[in-house]
């Protein structure tokens, strides 16, 4: 996990387990228990966040992809198309800058920017703090746009109701097989930028087969945020999912 990717920050308690991975004090008998405690602490906070959001009838989505797959472009299109239908607020995760949060706000959405510095993923503590600032309305959708990375974000529960993974046709058709943990963790797989299919080498059947092999249970959509392909089906899923936390919160 993060001890091998260099995202640890000695000022953040959640990363202390990952310092000096090759040193004599962090052999297998020490590192593994520390990593387990890090993830256990994160999972406890994520579970509390999930409980609080469901009590407010808020649906949270963890949106993950590699860099440049089109997460922010899709969010901009969603905010424009669904204005007046679904209320969507956004937590933006990036290592630096607030460019994506500014894009979301320009598209009419509310956004809180979280910069991770050298960190390559968001965690439950970061999201919990961002939610305090965002204060999402009852019955709304919160989209957490995670840091662009197809490895570490899959390890950390953020308190979301569903995980959505985006891969674009420009990434290549073998991504589900090259990054199986990320794609296996997904509830939804989005294939983006399908308007570029005539211009890139991408085997759609190979992609579909790889996605089914890694995660046969995931719901799949193929779309273009610029041309509009597949968006109606994706929006239908969002509308149905937005109702689910309400049903959970009102159950006896």
> What pLDDT was estimated at residue 244?
73
* Per-position b or e across 53-83, b if 16+ CB within 10 A of its CB: bbebbbbbbbbbbbeebbbbbbbbbbbebbe
Give strand pairing partners of 168: 192
Q: Residues 88-111: what's their mean pLDDT?
A: 97
Q: What does the alpha-carbon distance between residue 179 and residue 176 come to, in Å, rounded to a whole number?
A: 5
Say which residues have a Cβ less than 8 Å from residue 143's Cβ, sequence separation at least 6: 60, 61, 63, 75, 78, 88, 89, 90, 91
Q: Band the pLDDT of 8: cuts 50, 70, 90.
A: low
Q: Is the pLDDT of residue 21 over 60?
A: no
Q: Band the pLDDT of 95: cuts 50, 70, 90.
A: very high
Q: Across the chain, what does the average pLDDT equal?
A: 88
Read off the DSSP letter of residue 162. E
Whole-number percent of the chain with pLDDT over 70: 84
Q: Residues 47-66: what's their mean pLDDT?
A: 97
Structure-block tokens of residue 76: 């901009």
Q: Band the pLDDT of 243: cuts 50, 70, 90.
A: confident
Q: Is the pLDDT of residue 129 over 90?
A: yes
Q: Band the pLDDT of 31: cuts 50, 70, 90.
A: low
pLDDT tens figures, 172-217: 999 999 999 999 999 999 999 999 999 999 999 999 999 999 999 9
Q: Band the pLDDT of 245: cuts 50, 70, 90.
A: low
Give the residue extent of every domain in the chain.
59-245
Structure-block tokens of residue 151: 């490895």
Q: Residues 27-56: what's their mean pLDDT?
A: 83
Q: Residues 20-45: what's their mean pLDDT?
A: 64
Model pTM score: 0.85
Q: Band the pLDDT of 249: cuts 50, 70, 90.
A: very low
The topology (CATH level 3) of 59-245 is Rossmann fold (3.40.50)
Within a 10 A sphere around the Cβ of 195, how many other Cβ atoms? 15
pLDDT tens figures, 145-176: 999 999 999 999 999 999 999 999 999 999 99
- Nearest Cα neighbor of 197 from 222, 219, 232 is 222
Q: What does the alpha-carbon distance between residue 78 and residue 83 come to, in Å, rounded to a whole number?
A: 8
Q: Is the pLDDT of residue 93 over 70?
A: yes
> What pLDDT was estimated at residue 250?
42
Helices (H) and strands (E) in the chain — how many of each?
9, 7
Whole-number percent of the chain with pLDDT over 90: 80
* Per-position b or e across 149-166, b if 16+ CB within 10 A of its CB: bbbbbbbbbbbbbbbbbb
Q: Band the pLDDT of 251: cuts 50, 70, 90.
A: very low
Q: Residues 20-24: what's their mean pLDDT?
A: 32
Higher-confidence residue of 30 and 187: namely 187
């Amino acid at each position: 996990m993060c001890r091998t990717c260099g995202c640890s920050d000695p000022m953040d308690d959640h990363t202390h387990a990952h310092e000096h991975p090759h040193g004599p004090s962090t052999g297998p008998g020490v590192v593994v228990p520390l990593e387990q405690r890090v993830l256990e602490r994160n999972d406890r906070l994520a579970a509390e966040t999930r409980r609080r959001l469901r009590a407010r009838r808020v649906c949270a989505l963890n949106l993950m992809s590699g860099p440049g797959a089109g997460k922010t472009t899709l969010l901009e299109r969603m905010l424009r198309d669904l204005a007046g239908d679904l209320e969507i607020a956004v937590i933006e995760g990036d290592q630096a800058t607030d460019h994506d949060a500014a894009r979301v706000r320009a598209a009419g959405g509310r956004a809180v920017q979280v910069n991770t510095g050298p960190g390559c993923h968001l965690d439950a503590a970061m999201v919990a703090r961002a939610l305090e600032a965002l204060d999402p309305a009852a019955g709304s959708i919160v989209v957490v746009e995670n840091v662009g990375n197809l490895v570490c974000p899959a390890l950390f529960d953020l308190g979301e109701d569903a995980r959505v993974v985006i891969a674009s046709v420009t990434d290549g058709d073998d991504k589900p097989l090259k990054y199986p943990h990320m794609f296996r963790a997904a509830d939804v797989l989005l294939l983006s930028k399908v308007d570029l299919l005539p211009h890139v080498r991408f085997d759609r059947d190979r992609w579909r087969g790889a996605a089914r092999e890694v995660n046969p249970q995931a719901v799949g959509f193929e779309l273009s945020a610029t041309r509009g392909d597949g968006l109606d089906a994706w929006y239908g899923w969002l509308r149905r999912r937005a109702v689910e936390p309400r049903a959970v919160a009102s159950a006896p």
